[in-house]
Amino acid sequence: MDQPNNNNLRIWTPILFAVILIAGMVIGFKLRDSLRGKRDIETVIYRSDRLEQLIDLINEKYVDTVNTNSIYSDAVAGILSHLDPHTVYISADEVSTVNESLGGGFFGIGVEFVIVRDTIQVTAITPGGPAERSHVQVGDQFIKVGDSVVAGKDITSEKIIKLLKGEQYSKVKLTLKQPYIAGVRNVILERDIVPIFSIDAAVMLDANSGYIKINRFSATTHDEFKKALQSLKGQGMKDVILDLRGNPGGYLDAATLIADEFISGRKLLVYTQGKNQYKTEYKSGEEKGFEEGRVVVLVDENSASAAEILAGAIQDWDRGVIVGRRSYGKGLVQEQYDLEDGAALRLTIAKYYTPSGRCIQRTYSKGKSAYSEDYFNRFRSGEFTGFDTLSVGDTIPYYTANKRVVYGGGGIKPDVYIPYDTTKVSVAVVNIITGVKMRDIIWDFYLRNKDTLQYRSVNDFDHRFLAEDDIIKMYLATLSASGRKEAEKLLKTPANSKLLRGQIKSQVARYIYQNKGYYSIAAKDDKDIQRALQILGDESYLKIIGR
């Protein structure tokens, strides 16, 4: 009676053991792959390797005294010089600053300032921050921070920031003075979280068109973006201009979450892959943000990384029109590893690819020096100024959702190209606009007149503010006779005069209404934005995206 059961046991036992063995091997291989990166990096960080031994030997036996920290930094730089341009060593002193910009905040008092004639002057106050709660005012001048006198001491921005930052809830005493008012006052503030905003501005440019300027992709960017989007939709926004010019990138997740706001359905937004990294796909979800209205994305040669991910997804799905100049061309993904001494290594671990399959990383095969000169090469070739066609590093065609041809290998090529205009505006006028002297005069004008600069709105300010000529006269009065004659000659050119007056008005608007005021006024003289508005308003939009 037992014979059949014994036979079955003899048959199934080896099969069962084989299945268990195979399952164990599969699990083992998966664990090996998932832990390999962690194990390897820990080995690199903590082991006493040849580099450590070499530096120790020099320190103990070398004939002269040497700075071993400097040797170590040079050695690290030498090692990284053989890798890509975006793998970088971050010293312990720099780590906190780097992390703050992407983390979305730091502990401080919540003010923006400029240094005018060796005096720190408050130009803006973070809403709800420690400075606002302690009644610090725009225009306040810092005399002391704690026991340190900071007025008239050749103070630098770095030094004052270091004095103002500190541990959360720690206290700092400020001695302040209002300009044109006698006496000083003391204020004790309790440091707290100060947000670093990713959204510079979210404003309506006309009855239908909203404008959102994103300066980086940090941990808080998506939340900020959703609030901005909701606010503009509540004001009647039907179409949007997304400004990514000058945006150096940041967190990949932040870029894909914002792309998801525009792209409907379950669609691929970007994927990453590397020699030691499995292919990882990022797809849009079901949450609806702005999936119907028209979209224009502004990019330039300084739009990089996460900014290119967002622009690439919108272009590949024909969700909007890309306007401006070819983007930076950074298609590499970094991961930051903390080192034992407080420093960090930001290591490239993968490349990212847009939905059409293109990698827009430009070549670095000729070394870091040639890579860094790409900006100047573009200018010399005429690409920036419109005297040469846009070249790309990859001739393999890729296709958007509507079968438009796009290319990889060198940034996101815009659908509508807008060159620099080097013919109408003098470099000398640009120098006036960006110079310290003009900045100080505009600031002094604001301080003297801030009680009378009262308007119902930015729109009201735009129509009623007429003091540009007065500010220009104040500027000319500070120049020598020959300098004044030269400046007056420059301003006889209509384009120069218009640019200077527009920038003066924008800067005054910033002091009254912060970034909302600046971007609302500056948009009127921004040819990229004006071209975007034109595209949103005519039939060319649908033609460009192939619908």
Could you give the CA distance from residue 174 to residue 190 in angstroms, rounded to a whole number?
A: 11
- Residue 405's pLDDT is 93
Contact 296, 538 (CB under 8 A): no
- Domains in the chain, start-ordered, CATH in brackets? 26-82 (no CATH), 105-195 (2.30.42.10), 199-420 (3.90.226.10), 427-533 (no CATH)
Could you give the CA distance from residue 228 to residue 123 in angstroms, rounded to a whole number?
A: 23
Question: 371 in helix, strand or coil?
Answer: helix
Closest CA to 282 of 266, 262, 304, 303: 266
Contact 443, 123 (CB under 8 A): yes
- Residue 31's pLDDT is 52
What mean pLDDT do residues 454-477 have?
96
pLDDT digits (tens, 9 = 90+) for 199-216: 999 999 999 999 999 999
pLDDT digits (tens, 9 = 90+) for 277-322: 899 999 998 777 899 999 999 999 999 999 999 999 999 999 999 9
- Residue 277's pLDDT is 87
pLDDT digits (tens, 9 = 90+) for 401-453: 999 999 888 899 999 999 987 666 678 888 999 999 999 999 999 999 999 99
Q: In a 10 Å sphere around its CB, with 0-12 CB exposed, 13-18 middle and 19+ buried, how is residue 180 labelled?
A: exposed
pLDDT at 113 over 80: yes
- Tell which wins on pLDDT, 469 or 42: 469
Could you give the CA distance from residue 280 to residue 282 in angstroms, rounded to a whole number?
A: 7
pLDDT digits (tens, 9 = 90+) for 16-41: 565 565 656 555 555 555 444 444 55
What mean pLDDT do residues 485-512 have?
94
The residues that bridge with 190 in the sheet, in sequence order, are: 171
Average pLDDT value for the chain: 87
Contact 488, 475 (CB under 8 A): no
